[in-house]
């Protein structure tokens, strides 16, 4: 699903600071989803 969204230019906020809580990359790291982390970093 993540790859599908990114291929269609879905917005992804990778900033580490925010008022709305953890960002997608933080959740992926916390939950051990290393493949998602790699996709987000590309």
pTM: 0.54
Which pLDDT belongs to residue 32? 93
Q: How many CB atoms lie within 10 A of CB 1?
A: 6
Q: In this structure, how many other beta carbons lie within 10 angstroms of the beta carbon of residue 21?
A: 7
Percent of the chain with pLDDT over 70: 74
| Torsion of the alpha carbons at 2, 3, 5 and 7, rounded to the nearest 10 | 160
- Predicted confidence at residue 36, as pLDDT, reads 86
**Gyration radius from the chain CA atoms:** 10
Per-residue pLDDT tens digits for 22-35: 777 888 888 999 99
Mean pLDDT calculated for residue range 10-24:
68
């Amino acid at each position: 699903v993540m790859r599908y969204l990114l291929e269609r230019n879905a917005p992804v906020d990778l900033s580490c600071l925010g008022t709305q809580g953890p960002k997608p990359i933080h959740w992926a790291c916390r939950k051990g989803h290393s493949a998602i982390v790699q996709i987000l970093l590309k």
